[in-house]
Structure 1
Amino acid sequence: MNQFSHDTIAAIATPIGIGGISVIRISGSESFTIVNSVFKGTTNLIDAASHTIHYGNIMDPDGVSIIDTVLVSVFHNPNSYTGEDIIEISSHGGYFVTQKILSLLHSGGARPAKPGEFTQRAFLNGKLDLTQAEAVADIIHSRTEKSHKASVMQLSGRLSKHVNIIRDQLLNLCSLLELELDFSQEGIELTTKDDVLKRLASIEREIKKLADSYSSGKFVREGVRVALIGKPNAGKSSLLNILLGEERAIVSEIAGTTRDVIEESIILNGLEFVFFDTAGLRESYDTIEQEGIRRTLNSLKQADIALFIIDSSFGFSQGDVLMFKQITESAGSQIPFLICVNKTDIKDKEFSLLDLGIVHSVEISCKLNLGIEKLKKNLLELSIPNHDSNSSSIVITNIRHKEALISALKSLQKAKETITNGLGGDFAAIDLRDALNYLGEIIGLTTPDDILNHIFGKFCIGK
């Protein structure tokens, strides 16, 4: 099938609603014919040059009534976003106008586009690889400077080029092992066991470095989830309000005021932090409060960092020790804990946290707004340790990429064991081919259709 023989699709590419302009996009071999049938201007769109804009009116089928005055942008295949013939109609914003124009295009033969179908066609026609296609969605959904920069870097093709370099190294080694098999009867040795293991170790280091970058990359893309935990009235809600710069959580002298998990986010140094102000932890016979405490412990399992708030006016009691052990056990993972010693303006007891093995702590006063900047600095250091905000190193932000890299590493490990145990290079080549396939999944060379449909199905309609 010719790559441009798809049926023609149309969709509104901008948010639906009242606004200055809206854009209706149509892609496919019949795009020019369909739009030309409802467009009246000084230019016949079928004869229009590519990458040109034309002023005119979208007409009602009666040929007399004007629906809207528009600008029509024309793009010929293959030099377009999808690689097909594309027209983008810029109309006035609004509900009726855009839906009416879209309805005319559908009546003329265009099919309603599925979510992400324009970008999927761009991928299938070789305009983008899979990581670049995913970057398009990430740019649309980016909420911070860091997530935007990471998405733009991925869209530029840097990740794809890096993966292809690793694949080329792996392919050369795999081909060498397979070629050596052809000369095995002649006793010709094209490489040595030590050389193969050395080259495998080098490739393994590159893949592992890329996979490990996800530990910071996921925070760039998804934000850092922080749980605020402590006894009732320790100052969790007060701290959240200070961080937000507004009163979002209820602040009261009555212990147990916060009975649900309140979720809010802020941006620190271009990174999003999502805070959970949770119910205070204590023995309670209040059914509603007990449910809040249960949700608090559950939120820990979803957190990337836990802030444990201590009321320094009471010191670090044995109850605090037991509670700290309870929440660290409940976390079920190695998430870092940062101890916030609050109310230092009225602290009358000195105590040490080192006995509990607590390294990360900061003294604050929500009442006097003291220590907050140091707290923010500690949060940044815990979320992306040793991360240079100006670094140009490649970071993966997508869990799909990490899983493929981990699978590739497992295949490389099998190949190393095969070589070490003295088995033939042809057996090791099988594992290397598996690793190649996993790396190919990242950029879309060997990605199954169901995964492709899942990826593009998460896009918005019109993109």
Structure 2
Amino acid sequence: MKEDTIAAISTPMGEGGIGIIRISGEESFNIAKKLFYPKSKISFEEMKPRTMYLGNIYDDLEKYVVDEVLMVKFKAPNSYTAEDMVEIHSHGGFTAVRKILNLVLRNGARLAQPGEFTKRAFINGRIDLSQAEAVIDIIRAKTDKALKVAVDQLKGKISEKIKEIMDSLLSVIALVEANIDFPEEEIPEASPDIILKNISYNIERLNYLKEKAGAGKILREGISTVIVGKPNVGKSSLLNSLLMEKRAIVTEIPGTTRDVIEEYINVKGIPIKIIDTAGIRDTKDPVEKIGVERAMEKVEGAELVLFVVDASGELEEEDYKIMENIKEKRLLIIFNKIDLGQKIDEKKVKEHLPGKRVVKISALRDEGIELLREEIYELIVNEVGSLEEGIIITAQRHIEAINKAIESLKEAKITVENNLPMEISAIYIREAWEYLGEITGDSVKEDILDAIFENFCIGK
């Protein structure tokens, strides 16, 4: 793979100001030289790296100028992939960028696989695996807070902490193995106390990282939040208020919402995937019935439920049925239409949903919406901890590797406490080191690499 020269379009397809075609590999410069004719009339070799040059992309076969572009070359190892690289910045649009890419492929490059540019950056040692994964998190970040966490990971903050623990484990492995291999030499003794102290200390460090994993998962993936209630209680109005735009159709006719509507909102840095559903009730309308079934499916898989009731009326049978279905969920009770006066029996609602908070709003008038946002934030933070402090682990793969490393270190601790041979404890400690190496890429397998990079877009 490293011998091939790869190319891809690195900007989204569609009309835009700029389209970027990226080329990486040994033949990058030779390919670009065949296509690019600079306006300054200097040779390709005379062009300075990391400097933009204006010129034309010319199709020698069909004898015409494809586009006026800017081109920049990056000489290895000072490039994204640590290989020779070229970027061609053309006008955005379907035709121009596709034509230039086809010319690049015709002249010796092959189309890059998803994430292959970043994979080469990892293989060539410019970034570790954790940093490579941060690239896709940056692209997919839905809030400023999620972006900051991803950028910290790209800077190597997580890798730095993991490598500190790996180095600590390696030092005790080396000490144990030296005592086994060279018992007559004057080297520090690998006493049980020293080994236990090292193991306990590193279990504590890993547990700290693990404690932040819940917050990290939320920042990376968001919270799936379903708005649920009987028809005409103001669910779609609530969605529109949270989004601060008229996304859902609102009428006085019950059952207007027939399908599921999904959008993201930002609640103090937490990405919330907000889902508006059809009003839940018994109906003979086949289309509305499908909507109700989909609503119940979404409720089942939701991480947070916003249960909306009409505070200006009495509780009805549909309300009780919904409460029965959601009582085990993480939820907030929302009394809507509070501007019309509260007639609902709050005590009865709390009897059916004990311990759940009530938020009173008027979605139509945008009253209480900021309080609702605060309640959503507090509910999440109270369960997963602060989203502000320390290193935050975001990837499920990293969490699993840390859990396995902790279990291996616990096994090592048991062997030491039971006075088993030191080489047995060394095996478990090395096992923990290898699990942590899956995070940084020091001990990762090819199938894990493939699974990581296939989630990237082509061109990154």
TM-score by length of 2: 0.89
Residue in structure 1 matched with residue 415 of structure 2 by the alignment: 418
Q: Counterparts in 2 of 1:28-107, with a 5 A limit?
A: 28-41=25-38, 42-61=41-60, 65-107=64-106
Cα distance in 2 between the residues matched to 1:388 and 1:212? 10
The residue type equivalent to 1:460 in the other structure is C
Deviation per CA, 1:218-243: give whole Å up to 9, x if none. Answer: 22122221111223333322222221
Cα distance in 2 between the residues matched to 1:37 and 1:322? 71
Root-mean-square deviation (Å): 2.9
1:117 paired with 2:116, answer yes
Residue in structure 1 matched with residue 207 of structure 2 by the alignment: 208
8 Å Cα contact 1:113-1:461 kept in structure 2: yes
8 Å Cα contact 2:212-2:385 kept in structure 1: no
Q: Counterparts in 2 of 1:368-407, with a 5 A limit?
A: 368-385=365-382, 391=388, 393-407=390-404
Cα distance in 2 between the residues matched to 1:290 and 1:18? 40
Cα distance in 2 between the residues matched to 1:233 and 1:63? 63
Cα distance in 2 between the residues matched to 1:97 and 1:283? 54
Cα distance in 1 between the residues matched to 2:452 and 2:425? 32
The residue type equivalent to 1:149 in the other structure is K
Moved more, 205-214 or 282-291: 282-291
Cα 1:351–1:68 shift into 2, 3 Å: closer
Cα 1:193–1:234 shift into 2, 3 Å: farther
8 Å Cα contact 1:22-1:93 kept in structure 2: yes
Moved more, 211-220 or 342-351: 342-351
Cα distance in 2 between the residues matched to 1:168 and 1:240? 50
Residue in structure 2 matched with residue 14 of structure 1 by the alignment: 11
Residue in structure 1 matched with residue 338 of structure 2 by the alignment: 344
Cα 1:197–1:296 shift into 2, 3 Å: farther
Residue in structure 2 matched with residue 197 of structure 1 by the alignment: 196
> Structure 2 regions of 5+ residues with no counterpart?
none
Cα distance in 2 between the residues matched to 1:229 and 1:189? 65
8 Å Cα contact 1:219-1:383 kept in structure 2: no
Cα distance in 1 between the residues matched to 2:313 and 2:175? 70
Moved more, 164-173 or 225-234: 225-234
Cα distance in 2 between the residues matched to 1:43 and 1:63? 24
8 Å Cα contact 2:215-2:386 kept in structure 1: no
Residue in structure 2 matched with residue 227 of structure 1 by the alignment: 226
Cα 1:425–1:63 shift into 2, 3 Å: same
Residue in structure 1 matched with residue 451 of structure 2 by the alignment: 454
Cα distance in 2 between the residues matched to 1:7 and 1:192? 52
1:161 shift after superposition? 0.6
Give the match's secondary structure for 1:149: helix
**Corresponding residue pairs, total:** 454
8 Å Cα contact 1:411-1:435 kept in structure 2: yes
The residue type equivalent to 1:35 in the other structure is A
Cα distance in 1 between the residues matched to 2:190 and 2:429? 16
Q: Counterparts in 2 of 1:241-252, with a 5 A limit?
A: 241-252=240-251
Residue in structure 2 matched with residue 332 of structure 1 by the alignment: none
Residue in structure 2 matched with residue 305 of structure 1 by the alignment: 304
1:258 paired with 2:257, answer yes
8 Å Cα contact 1:43-1:54 kept in structure 2: no
Give the match's secondary structure for 1:237: helix
8 Å Cα contact 2:315-2:345 kept in structure 1: no
1:301 shift after superposition? 3.4
Cα distance in 2 between the residues matched to 1:264 and 1:81? 33
The residue type equivalent to 2:406 in the other structure is L
Residue in structure 1 matched with residue 160 of structure 2 by the alignment: 161
1:159 shift after superposition? 0.9
1:109 shift after superposition? 1.3
Cα distance in 2 between the residues matched to 1:275 and 1:454? 28
Cα 1:419–1:255 shift into 2, 3 Å: farther
Deviation per CA, 1:142-183: give whole Å up to 9, x if none. Answer: 232112111111111111111101111222223333334346
Cα distance in 1 between the residues matched to 2:33 and 2:439? 40
Give the match's secondary structure for 2:4: coil
Cα 1:359–1:409 shift into 2, 3 Å: same
Give the match's secondary structure for 1:384: helix
8 Å Cα contact 1:33-1:46 kept in structure 2: no
Cα distance in 2 between the residues matched to 1:16 and 1:317? 50
Deviation per CA, 1:372-426: give whole Å up to 9, x if none. Answer: 211110111122338656x351111211111111221222222223233332222
Moved more, 404-413 or 279-288: 279-288
Cα distance in 1 between the residues matched to 2:239 and 2:95? 43
Residue in structure 1 matched with residue 359 of structure 2 by the alignment: 362
Cα distance in 1 between the residues matched to 2:365 and 2:37? 67
Identical amino acids, percent of aligned pairs: 43
Residue in structure 2 matched with residue 281 of structure 1 by the alignment: 280
8 Å Cα contact 1:315-1:351 kept in structure 2: no
1:321 shift after superposition? 5.4
Give the match's secondary structure for 1:163: helix
Cα 1:418–1:360 shift into 2, 3 Å: farther
Cα 1:237–1:439 shift into 2, 3 Å: same
8 Å Cα contact 2:80-2:121 kept in structure 1: yes
Moved more, 169-178 or 148-157: 169-178
The residue type equivalent to 1:407 in the other structure is K
1:49 shift after superposition? 3.7
8 Å Cα contact 1:264-1:276 kept in structure 2: yes
- 2:431 is aligned, of 431, 434, 437, to 434
Cα distance in 1 between the residues matched to 2:316 and 2:412? 55
Moved more, 282-291 or 421-430: 282-291
1:322 shift after superposition? 5.6
Residue in structure 2 matched with residue 176 of structure 1 by the alignment: 175
TM-score by length of 1: 0.88
Cα 1:90–1:264 shift into 2, 3 Å: closer
Cα distance in 2 between the residues matched to 1:244 and 1:80? 40
Give the match's secondary structure for 1:22: strand
Cα distance in 1 between the residues matched to 2:82 and 2:47? 17
8 Å Cα contact 2:224-2:303 kept in structure 1: yes
Cα 1:95–1:367 shift into 2, 3 Å: closer
8 Å Cα contact 2:223-2:303 kept in structure 1: yes
